[in-house]
């Protein structure tokens, strides 16, 4: 037999070397485990990226359809007001510095200037529809940074909430501002968590600048975002918080400069202001909560404020600390700031738009947190979301039925007279502007009769003006005018309005004119 060479057995590793070799293996295992977990965090808990994307597309399409339906119907006072202001613009630059009025929402005015005053109404509202629809994926992206469930619920809330459907279909600046706040909120969170790249800082600046040109209410939203960054900072992120504050301040300057230029002009005008009172404040904030999450209209404003506040506190309690900051500032801090500053006209829900955005984000992320907690908390989340959906659907149904008003129909009846004279019992200046707009489009003359002129030239028509959804009395016959020359009027038509904008009109014609026509 041949002598086979002896092969030495492989050296046995020492315990220390075995430990060193195991470290890379542990790291490999950790990476292999972390990779699918990170994908799961990015793609969805229990679902893939495709499922999230399809659901988001569905919610976005639903939101777009709801806004397109809401964009039908007559222009109301504030939209007409913008068109009247644009008559003063001799160039595109005047949209930015030449319309010296606080009702000039620059981005919206620029759109109306470009398409012209005779464009179809849905086209006038198209910019709001686009911005309002884009707010849906923007909300999903911002809340998805918490978890996928929050992103999809945010898309659902912003798609179907009556508040955002209404202002996402109206030719004003609130839809653009809402989109800007949501984009900026997502970017601020990304900067705080992942770092302040130039791309993120530029995106934040663009969102802030666009939002401020859309509506100056963006100023308070921008302040809330800067304060959010400050309150969320850690020693390692202080520079990021400072960068966010600097970008927010600088990006707000162009729109503020344009506004300041107009405000310093001697012909600068401000709309009617109502002094602050507890009832006025409760009406505005409670109205915002109703329209955002569908709280019942029948509930007293102060009672609803308490209930909405308790709900918000409960949802804040289930969220991680970093997700509480902006919603808490928006929902609680900003309304209290309005009170401290004594701001007027707080009865309008739209003046609390930032609070509405914060409340919707809080509802989405709070319900997602309840769902993630499991057990009975999932039932609570489902009940809340179902209640929001049903109540918002009821408000949308009322709005689709009655719209922002039916002014053209009323003026068409008035146009039966060659020179339609009319009197108004409420909001005389506002009603005169609306009647003049539709009379001009119909090619007729409509003249408002003041109380002092009544006896000499009694009006042919009487317009009784009510707020939307008011329980107006539609008497078949009524008398009006000064005591020494009162006139009897017969009902010609009721023209309702519902929701956050417009007026309900009841039109009467003087009795002797009606009889002579017969």
pLDDT digits (tens, 9 = 90+) for 407-423: 999 999 999 987 789 99
Looking at mean pLDDT, say which of 1-5, 297-301, 325-329 comes out highest: 325-329
Joined tokens for residue 322: 């970093």
What is the DSSP secondary-structure string of 266-293? TT-B--------HHHHHHHHHHHHHHHH
Residue 234: predicted pLDDT: 78
Does the residue 294 lie in any domain?
Answer: yes
Residue 418: predicted pLDDT: 78
- Pair 375, 485 in one domain: no
Residue 236: predicted pLDDT: 72
Q: Which residues, listed in sequence order, are joined to residue 504 by a DSSP beta bridge? A: 466
Give the closest residue to 212 by CA, choosing from 203, 200, 221. Answer: 221
Residue 95 · residue 106 · CB < 8 Å: yes
- Residue 411's domain comprises 407-517
Residue 270: predicted pLDDT: 86
Please report which residue ranges of 71-93 form alpha helices under DSSP H.
77-86
What's the whole-number mean pLDDT along residues 38-58? 66
Q: Is the pLDDT of residue 257 over 70?
A: yes
Q: Is the pLDDT of residue 206 over 50?
A: yes
Average pLDDT, the chain: 90
Give the closest residue to 397 by CA, choosing from 294, 473, 466. Answer: 294
Residue 7's pLDDT band, with cuts at 50, 70 and 90, is very low
Q: What are phi and psi of 267, to 5 degrees?
A: -100, 15
Single residue among 402, 433, 448 that ends a domain in this structure: 402
Q: Write out the H or E segment, with its range, that includes residue 463.
A: strand 461-466
- Pair 169, 264 in one domain: yes
> Given CA atoms 283, 286, 287, 288 in this order, what sign does their dihedral have?
positive
- Rounded CA-CA distance 113/171 in Å is 12
- Rounded CA-CA distance 331/359 in Å is 6
Joined tokens for residue 183: 């984009």
Residue 127 · residue 279 · CB < 8 Å: no
Q: Is the pLDDT of residue 31 over 70?
A: no
> Given CA atoms 489, 493, 499, 503 in this order, what sign does their dihedral have?
negative
- Pair 363, 446 in one domain: no
Q: Is the pLDDT of residue 129 over 50?
A: yes
Single residue among 402, 418, 437 that ends a domain in this structure: 402
Q: Is the pLDDT of residue 18 over 90?
A: no
- Pair 300, 416 in one domain: no
- Rounded CA-CA distance 164/187 in Å is 21
- Rounded CA-CA distance 288/380 in Å is 23
- What does pTM read for this prediction? 0.89
Give the closest residue to 327 by CA, choosing from 390, 299, 369. Answer: 369
Q: What confidence tens digit (pLDDT) does each residue in 308-341 have?
A: 999 999 999 999 999 999 999 999 999 999 999 9
Instruction: Count the domains in the chain.
Output: 2
Residue 514: predicted pLDDT: 57
Single residue among 371, 402, 433 that ends a domain in this structure: 402
Does the residue 12 lie in any domain?
Answer: no
Residue 517: predicted pLDDT: 55
Residue 374: predicted pLDDT: 87
- Rounded CA-CA distance 475/511 in Å is 14
What's the whole-number mean pLDDT along residues 143-157? 97
Residue 6: predicted pLDDT: 47
Residue 417: predicted pLDDT: 84
- Pair 333, 470 in one domain: no
Residue 17's pLDDT band, with cuts at 50, 70 and 90, is very low
Residue 475's pLDDT band, with cuts at 50, 70 and 90, is confident
Residue 16: predicted pLDDT: 44
């Amino acid at each position: 037999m041949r002598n086979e060479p002896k092969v030495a057995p492989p050296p046995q590793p020492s315990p220390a070397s075995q430990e060193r070799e195991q470290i890379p293996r542990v790291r490999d295992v950790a990476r292999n485990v972390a990779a699918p977990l990170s994908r799961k965090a990015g793609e969805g808990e229990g679902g893939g990226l495709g499922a999230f994307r399809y659901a988001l597309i569905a919610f976005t399409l639903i939101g777009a359809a709801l806004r397109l339906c809401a964009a039908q119907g007559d222009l109301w006072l504030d939209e007409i007001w913008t068109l009247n202001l644009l008559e003063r613009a001799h160039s595109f630059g005047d949209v930015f510095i030449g319309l010296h009025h606080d009702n000039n929402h620059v981005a919206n005015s620029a759109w109306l200037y470009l398409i012209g005053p005779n464009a179809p109404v849905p086209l006038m509202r198209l910019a709001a529809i686009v911005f309002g629809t884009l707010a849906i994926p923007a909300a999903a992206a911002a809340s998805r940074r918490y978890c996928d469930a929050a992103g999809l619920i945010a898309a659902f809330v912003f798609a179907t909430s009556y508040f955002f459907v209404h202002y996402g279909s109206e030719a004003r600046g609130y839809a653009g501002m809402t989109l800007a706040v949501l984009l900026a909120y997502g970017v601020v969170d990304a900067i705080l968590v992942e770092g302040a790249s130039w791309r993120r800082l530029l995106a934040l600046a663009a969102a802030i600048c666009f939002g401020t040109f859309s509506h100056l209410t963006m100023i308070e939203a921008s302040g809330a975002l800067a304060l959010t960054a400050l309150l969320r900072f850690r020693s390692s992120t202080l520079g990021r918080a400072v960068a966010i504050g600097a970008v927010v301040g600088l990006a707000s300057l162009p729109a503020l400069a344009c506004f300041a230029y107009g405000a310093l002009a001697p012909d600068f005008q401000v709309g009617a202001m109502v002094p602050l009172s507890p009832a006025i404040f409760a009406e505005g904030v409670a109205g915002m909560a109703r329209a955002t999450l569908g709280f019942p209209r029948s509930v007293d404003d102060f009672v609803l404020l308490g209930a909405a506040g308790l709900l918000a506190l409960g949802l804040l309690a289930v969220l991680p600390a970093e997700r509480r900051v902006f919603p808490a500032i928006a929902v609680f801090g900003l309304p209290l700031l309005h009170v401290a500053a004594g701001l007027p006209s707080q009865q309008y829900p739209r003046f609390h738009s930032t609070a509405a955005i914060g409340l919707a984000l809080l509802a989405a992320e709070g319900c997602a947190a309840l769902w993630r907690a499991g057990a009975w908390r999932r039932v609570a989340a489902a009940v809340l979301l179902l209640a929001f959906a049903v109540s918002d659907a009821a408000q949308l149904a009322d709005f689709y039925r009655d719209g922002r008003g039916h002014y053209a129909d009323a003026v068409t009846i008035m146009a039966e007279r060659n020179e339609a004279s009319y009197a108004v019992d409420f909001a005389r200046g506002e009603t005169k502007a609306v009647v003049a707009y539709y009379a001009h489009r119909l090619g007729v003359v409509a003249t408002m009769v003041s109380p002092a002129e009544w006896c000499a030239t009694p009006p042919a028509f009487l317009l009784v003006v009510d707020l939307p959804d008011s329980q107006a009395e539609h008497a078949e016959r009524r008398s009006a005018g000064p005591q020494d020359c009162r006139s009897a009027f017969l009902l010609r038509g009721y023209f309702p309005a519902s929701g956050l904008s417009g007026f309900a009109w009841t039109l009467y014609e003087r009795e002797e004119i009606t009889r002579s026509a017969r």
